[in-house]
């Protein structure tokens, strides 16, 4: 009687037959004796359609009203999913985020979960019902409907798992994330044809891959799972195969230096030169940038006399907004100039084994050198090495790194049976 959380994304819920198929997976878990909570996204392109509808009315919709609009998408899904479960003879009940007591802060369109009242959930589970919860949404303490922003439904699933004590010290239960890919790969198979599906990956590695844009799961959800030690199973909603387990790091994982690699395309580099290096300068600069929605990464500062040079990477689509923010910061500082380069990409290798294995960086640089790839910049973290390369060399660079670490070969990576470390797996 472990608790199983099953989350189905929009691509798994494209139409009524997809919903019926997903309902069958939930029913199967229930028939196996598990206590089942289903978390659903809006069907297919519903959220985009609703945003387009709002855009027809106004180009500056209120964020509160956007949330009022968008929360309907998941509400449609929970009703239909519950009907599909009833059709299959299962006891089931739908619940909105508000009904289930998902209390968030008051920041519309990007709210964060503050608490989940598990009383109603537990009562329904005790009665043997499958609970179908609307993902992506909650309610502020003032009773306003809120949405959780990108990756919101994954976050809902993990937050419910954590609140119900899935994983944790007791170690029971599982959060299954159903999507339209087979699992987590050693690299994007569209770019690296011999990329291999991973049976398992540590939460830290997944987090690095997710933040590189390579993950099938949003980094917020991975953080939740990591924090509360919830095992996550990423798998395909239309196939019976096992996917990839995201689990707490185990000692044998360090046998492998690199578990996966990723390409972040379409990056620009903003370089600020000659800005006076006074206390608070960096704080002001990045406060200005934080006022945009852009993600900046790979920040490098060098000093030159009284002034500093700072460079960082930004996605192409955020460049214009960040440029304006930096101009304001330079205006505040009264000095300094900005240069913008475009057409860059980032290739990264990730693995918890890097901590204990030397020579990982050397292997990567040698592989890129042999492939004739120009390295514009290098940044490293404890379990990640990233190189900035010309965009047009990005895919070649990714394949070179994938080959260099032998990621297509399973034997090297997993010396033990993959299932051995899984706790109470559910299929």
Applying CB under 8 A, which of residues 13, 19, 314, 354 lies at the interface with a second copy? 19
Of 83 and 361, which CB lies nearer to a second copy in the complex structure?
Answer: 83
# binding residues, a second copy (CB under 8 A):
38
| Minimum separation from the CB atom of position 52 to a second copy (A) | 10
What is the footprint of a second copy within residues 288-327 (CB under 8 A)? none
Span of 17-25, 294-302, 356-364, 381-389 interacting with a second copy by CB under 8 A: 17-25
With tokens 């890919």, the residue in question is 181
- Burial (CB < 10 A; 0-12, 13-18, 19+), residue 119, is exposed
Q: What's the token pair of residue 28?
A: 């199967």
x/- letters, 144..163, toward a second copy (CB under 8 A)? -x------------------
123 lies in the site for a second copy, by CB under 8 A: no
Cα gap 141→159, rounded to integer Å:
17
| Nearest to a second copy of 140, 311 (CB atom) | 140
CA 243, 245, 250, 256 dihedral sign is positive
Given a contact cutoff of 8 angstroms between Cβ atoms, the answer to whether 157 and 5 are in contact is yes
Query: Closest CB to a second copy among 75 and 282?
Result: 75
Measured from the CB atom, is 69 or 263 closer to a second copy? 69
DSSP 204: H
Instruction: Kindly compute the dihedral angle of the four CA atoms of residues 280, 286, 292, 293, in this order, to the nearest 10 degrees.
Output: -140
Burial of residue 254 (CB within 10 Å: 0-12, 13-18, 19+) is middle
Contact 1/7 with Cβ under 8 angstroms? no
Smallest distance from a second copy to CB 145, Å: 8
- Stretch of 93-101, 264-272, 310-318, 329-337 contacting a second copy, by CB under 8 A: 93-101
Q: Is 14 one of the binding residues for a second copy (CB under 8 A)?
A: no
Residue 49 vs 337, nearer CB to a second copy: 49
Q: Which residues pair with 104 in a beta bridge?
A: 113, 140
The two tokens of residue 426 are: 């559910």
Q: Does 99 bind a second copy (CB under 8 A)?
A: yes
Sheet holding 92-95, edge to edge: 92-95, 130-134, 35-40, 3-8, 174-179, 232-236, 244-247, 200-202
Give dist(CA 124, CA 240) in Å, integer: 28
* Cβ closest to a second copy, residue 26 vs residue 330: 26
Residue ranges in 28-87 that form contacts with a second copy under rule CB under 8 A? 50, 53-54, 56-58, 60-62, 64-66, 68-69, 71-72, 75-76, 78-80, 82-84, 86-87
Of residues 19 and 187, the one with the C-beta less far from a second copy? 19
* Positions that interact with a second copy (CB under 8 A): 15-17, 19-20, 50, 53-54, 56-58, 60-62, 64-66, 68-69, 71-72, 75-76, 78-80, 82-84, 86-87, 93-94, 96, 98-99, 143, 145
């Amino acid at each position: 009687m472990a608790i199983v959380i099953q989350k189905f994304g929009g691509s798994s819920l494209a139409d009524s037959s997809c919903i019926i198929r997903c309902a069958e997976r939930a029913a199967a878990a229930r028939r196996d004796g598990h206590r089942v909570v289903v978390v659903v996204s809006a069907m297919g392109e519903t959220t985009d359609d609703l945003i387009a509808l709002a855009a027809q009315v106004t180009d500056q919709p209120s964020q509160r009203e956007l949330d009022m609009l968008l929360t309907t998408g998941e509400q449609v899904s929970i009703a239909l999913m519950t009907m599909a479960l009833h059709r299959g003879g299962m006891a089931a009940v739908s619940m909105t985020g508000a009904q289930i007591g998902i209390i968030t802060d008051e920041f519309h369109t990007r709210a964060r979960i503050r608490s989940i009242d598990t009383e109603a959930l537990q009562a329904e589970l005790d009665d043997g019902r499958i609970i179908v919860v609307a993902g992506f949404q909650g309610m502020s303490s003032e009773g306003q409907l809120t949405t959780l922003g990108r990756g919101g439904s994954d976050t809902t699933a993990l937050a419910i798992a954590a609140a119900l004590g899935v994983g944790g010290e007791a170690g029971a239960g599982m959060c299954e994330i159903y999507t339209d890919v087979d699992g987590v790969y050693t690299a994007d198979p569209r770019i690296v044809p011999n990329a291999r599906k991973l049976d398992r990956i540590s939460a830290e590695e997944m987090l690095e891959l997710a933040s590189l844009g390579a993950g099938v799961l949003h980094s917020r959800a991975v953080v939740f799972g990591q924090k509360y030690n919830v095992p996550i199973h990423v798998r395909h909603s239309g196939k019976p195969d096992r996917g990839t387990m995201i689990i707490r790091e185990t000692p044998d994982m360090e046998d492998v230096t690199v578990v996966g690699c990723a390409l972040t395309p379409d990056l620009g580099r903003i370089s600020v030169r000659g800005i006076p290096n006074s206390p608070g300068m960096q704080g002001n600069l990045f406060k200005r940038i934080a006022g945009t929605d852009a993600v900046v990464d790979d920040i490098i500062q060098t000093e030159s006399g009284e002034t500093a040079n700072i460079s960082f990477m930004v996605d192409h689509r955020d460049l214009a907004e960040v440029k304006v923010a930096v101009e304001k910061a330079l205006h505040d500082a009264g000095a300094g100039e900005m240069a913008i380069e475009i057409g860059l990409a980032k290739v990264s290798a990730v693995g918890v084994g890097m901590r204990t294995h030397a020579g990982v960086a050397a292997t990567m640089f040698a592989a890129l050198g042999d492939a004739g790839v120009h390295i514009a910049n290098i940044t490293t973290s404890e379990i990640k090495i990233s190189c900035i390369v010309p965009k047009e060399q990005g895919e070649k660079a990714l394949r070179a790194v994938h080959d260099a670490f032998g990621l297509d070969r399973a034997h090297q990576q997993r010396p033990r049976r993959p299932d051995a470390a899984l706790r109470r797996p559910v299929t």
